[in-house]
């Protein structure tokens, strides 16, 4: 199975972000013919403040019903190209707060997964910049998996990667690959991004597929930067595909024989003694 991770430099203009996503996805489809494409975290909006986020938010429909602009964009890409589309995450409009929500569509354009980010990014970065995701967003509580071309995928988003218990729980639910769409900050990314992703791959013996945002964006008059370096790691922890700086994509082939061999030769799940 071939998966393309899309690396974007999105901002607060939703229409421009949709156009950028379409251009990059079409480029990946023409060049690499993937079976699945994966977008970054909140690819429809990054920056601009509270009003911008609420303006970009969409009320998600019941499966099968018509949704908002980003929802229908993802569904149309999946159906028109007969591929699975992992929509990174978009901003979901809730009753009281927003949610950071992943959507996945199958080749017929049917929604097959919906995941709300569990762990919210409330930290102070090494440069003193504060991030308070919980000020606008509510957290999810449910683990989500789905199947595509015989492979079971688990859903996570960005900051979730720092919580290995979530990844172990997905492995126990049958995950063979785990998706990690992200807006990883430059300051933390240069030290932690690859280390954490490779660790999660090694611990779970899963493929880890991380589409990331790259570059600068404006947030309430200040310029912030995200790290990029989208990558795919195999179940042994090798990085088998990686984006450089800039927008673009990278494609990797997920080989289930590799997964099977790693798990057979080192059966860590069976050896585990602590919960």
DSSP string for residues in 163-198: -HHHHHHHHHTT-SEEE--B--BHHHHHHHHHHHHH
Would you call 242 helix, strand, or coil by DSSP? strand
Structure tokens at 47: 């920056």
Is 80 exceeded by the pLDDT of residue 15?
yes
Domain ranges of the chain: 2-271
Selected catalytic residue, list 41, 58, 92, 176: 41
Residue 252 CA to residue 255 CA, distance in Å, equals 9
Residue 82 has what pLDDT? 98
158 is catalytic: yes
Residue 49 CA to residue 47 CA, distance in Å, equals 6
Helix (H) or strand (E) holding 80: helix 69-81
Cβ atoms of residues 240 and 13 within 8 Å = no
How many helical (H) and strand (E) elements, i.e. helices and strands, does the chain have? 7, 18
Residue 145 has what pLDDT? 98
| CATH code for the domain defined by 2-271 | 3.60.110.10
Residue position matching structure tokens 């967003």: 137
C-alpha distances in angstroms, 192 versus 186, 227, 229? 10, 11, 12
Is 80 exceeded by the pLDDT of residue 275?
no
Selected catalytic residue, list 58, 111, 117, 176: 117
Selected catalytic residue, list 155, 158, 206, 243: 158
Please report which confidence band the pLDDT of residue 14 belongs to, taking 50, 70 and 90 as the band edges: very high
- Per-residue pLDDT reduced to its tens digit, 99-129: 999 999 999 999 999 999 999 999 998 888 8
Cβ atoms of residues 146 and 104 within 8 Å = yes
Phi and psi angles of residue 268, each rounded to the nearest 5 degrees, phi first = -65, -30
Is 80 exceeded by the pLDDT of residue 184?
yes
Please report which confidence band the pLDDT of residue 64 belongs to, taking 50, 70 and 90 as the band edges: confident
Segment 258-263 shows an average pLDDT of 98
Residue 18 CA to residue 6 CA, distance in Å, equals 13
What is the largest distance, in Å, between two alpha-carbon atoms of the chain? Answer: 53
Please report which confidence band the pLDDT of residue 59 belongs to, taking 50, 70 and 90 as the band edges: very high
DSSP letter assigned to residue 236: T
117 is catalytic: yes
- The pTM for the full model equals 0.97
Burial class, 63, CB count within 10 angstroms (exposed 0-12 / middle 13-18 / buried 19+): exposed
Phi and psi angles of residue 110, each rounded to the nearest 5 degrees, phi first = -90, 135
Structure tokens at 167: 């990844």
Would you call 256 helix, strand, or coil by DSSP? helix
Strand pairing partners for 155?
179
- Per-residue pLDDT reduced to its tens digit, 224-240: 999 999 999 999 999 99
List of long-range contacts for 71-79, beta carbons under 8 Å, 24+ apart: 71/103, 73/18, 73/21, 73/22, 74/103, 74/105, 75/105, 75/109, 75/111, 76/109, 77/22, 77/25, 77/37, 77/105, 78/105, 78/106, 78/107, 78/108, 78/109, 79/105, 79/107, 79/108, 79/109
Residue 220 has what pLDDT? 85
């Amino acid at each position: 199975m071939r998966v393309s991770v899309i690396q974007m430099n999105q901002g607060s203009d939703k229409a421009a972000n949709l156009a950028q996503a379409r251009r990059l996805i079409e480029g990946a489809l023409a060049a690499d013919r993937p079976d699945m494409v994966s977008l970054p975290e909140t690819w429809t909006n990054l920056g601009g403040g509270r009003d911008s986020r609420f303006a970009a938010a969409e009320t998600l429909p019941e499966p099968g019903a018509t949704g908002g602009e980003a929802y229908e964009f993802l569904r149309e890409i999946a159906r028109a190209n007969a591929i699975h589309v992992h929509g990174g995450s978009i901003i979901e409009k809730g009753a009281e707060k927003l949610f950071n929500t992943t959507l996945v569509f199958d080749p017929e354009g049917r929604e097959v997964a919906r995941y709300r980010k569990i762990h919210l990014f409330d930290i102070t970065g090494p440069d003193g910049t504060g991030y308070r995701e919980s000020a606008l967003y509510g957290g999810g509580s449910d683990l989500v998996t789905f199947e595509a071309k015989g492979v079971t995928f688990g859903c996570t988003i960005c900051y979730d990667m720092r919580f290995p218990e979530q990844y172990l729980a997905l492995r126990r639910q049958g995950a063979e690959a785990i998706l990690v769409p992200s807006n990883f900050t430059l300051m933390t990314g240069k030290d932690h991004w690859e280390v954490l992703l490779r660790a999660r791959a090694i611990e779970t013996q899963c493929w880890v597929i991380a589409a990331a945002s790259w570059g600068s964006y404006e947030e309430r008059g200040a310029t912030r930067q995200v790290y990029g370096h989208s990558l795919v790691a195999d179940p042994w922890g090798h990085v088998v595909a990686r984006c450089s700086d800039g927008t673009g994509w990278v494609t990797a082939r997920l080989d289930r024989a590799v997964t099977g061999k790693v798990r057979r030769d080192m059966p860590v799940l069976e050896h585990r003694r602590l919960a």
